[in-house]
Amino acid sequence: MPHELLTAAEGLQDWLTTQRRTLHMVPELSLHEFKTSEHCAQQMAELGLKVTKLWGEGFIADLDAPNGKGRVALRADMDALPITELNDVPYRSRHGGVAHMCGHDTHMTIAMGTARLLAARRDKLTRSVRFIFQPSEELPPGGAKGLIDKGCLEGVDEVYGLHNNPQMEVGTVATRVGAMTAAADIFEIKLTGRGGHASRPHEALDPIPATAELVGMLQTLVARRVQPGKPAVVSVTKFHAGTTHNIIPDSAELLGTVRSYEEPVRARIIEEMERMVQAVAQAHGLKHEYKYLRGYDSIVNHESGVQAVAKAAAEIVGEGNVNTGFEPQTWGEDFSYYLQHRPGAFFLVGSGNRQKGITEPLHSARFNVDERCLAIGTAVMARLAL
């Protein structure tokens, strides 16, 4: 017997599909979610929720429980990506060069569907529910911090967020205790010497051998400076110097990324990398510049939150379709900041369907979802909140 909430959500499938396709056709970039936000806010207001605009186009919508205690928050992100959609579907993006290729249209739809289910069960609510419609997830520093600074978590006891995942079959749910996504950072290094004729290196100060040496040294950061068993990645992705065969260049530049899951590991890499840059520059008599740009922090799920997600999801999709040992993802997400303030969890809802060929990853120009994930996501979110 399917859960009552799943049956109810499936009863809304046509409405959910229409909502998602409506949003899908008019995608808007980070910090420009004007029409998107207006549409969602209007739907929430029509359901009787109290809408309060907080930061940028971001807003909260409160559903108060007449007989309940406490408040749970459910977050949906609203922005699209600067990609031209290549799907040949009637609801294809109408905005050239912009498309919902991360599926945030499905997240907003699930939030609206959840509000619809819960508004119809208001007297059964054991606690109030706050929906957080967040702008700018795709563009660091992200909208989460802006909304939190404006008080979106005030009066909230727990917070949950989801992301669709086309690499998981529709009807499955995944999460994990601890690190769920990576902290994704960028580093930029420049070593400057003095250019000259390639035939007279003693009169120049060549930055290339020193920079090559530094690339080698950076490979030892994870192997020799991070505790074994703690995952981290340091990748040099660009090495740029020089113009032609007979000129020693003035400077050489490196660019790369660091991925980590725990703040002490990240802090250690930042510190040791700087030391290496300084040491190599000094040893070769070069000047150095070192810039380290922190991306989003890693999402670290709370155990209590994961337990709540696992229980709710098992009731909706069956225990066998819930994976609570999902491997940490290497992408970044600014849901991390909510969990630094309140307990809760982030989880993934399967949106793929191999049989139907729906397997394109997030951020692909051919990304799409099996729209049954809308009803499933809605039922799981509603069960979590009830």
Residues labelled catalytic: 296, 371
In the complex, least distance from residue 103 CB atom to Zn ion, rounded to whole angstroms: 7
Stretch that binds Zn ion, among 67-75, 101-109, 201-209, 257-265 (CB under 5 A): 101-109
Nearer to Zn ion, 102 or 125 (CB): 102
Q: Give phi and psi for 249, each to the nearest 5.
A: -80, 165
Residue nearest to Zn ion (CB): 102
What is the smallest separation between the CB atom of 368 and Zn ion, expressed in angstroms? 14
Q: Which is nearer to Zn ion, 102 or 112 (CB)?
A: 102
For residue 38, what are the CA distances in angstroms to 45, 118, 133?
10, 21, 11
CA distances from 68 to 4, 122, 246, 368 (A): 21, 10, 77, 38
Q: Is the Cβ–Cβ distance between 179 and 300 less than 8 Å?
A: yes
The residue (of 51 and 139) whose beta carbon lies closer to Zn ion is: 139
Taking CB under 5 A as the criterion, the residue among 102, 108, 183, 382 binding Zn ion is 102
Q: Which positions from 109 through 148 interact with Zn ion, judged by CB under 5 A? A: none
Return phi, psi of residue 24, to 5°.
Answer: -60, -35
Site string for Zn ion, 43-82 (x = CB under 5 A): ----------------------------------------
Minimum Å gap between C-beta 159 and Zn ion is 17
Does residue 99 touch Zn ion according to CB under 5 A? Answer: no
Min dist. Cβ of residue 77 to Zn ion (A): 6
DSSP H helical ranges for the chain: 4-11, 13-25, 34-46, 104-119, 143-149, 207-218, 220, 263-283, 303-317, 336-339, 372-385
Residues 6 or more apart whose CB falls under 8 angstroms from that of 348 comprise 162, 163, 164, 165, 168, 173, 174, 175, 326
Q: Which is nearer to Zn ion, 19 or 106 (CB)?
A: 106
Residues that bind Zn ion (CB under 5 A): 102
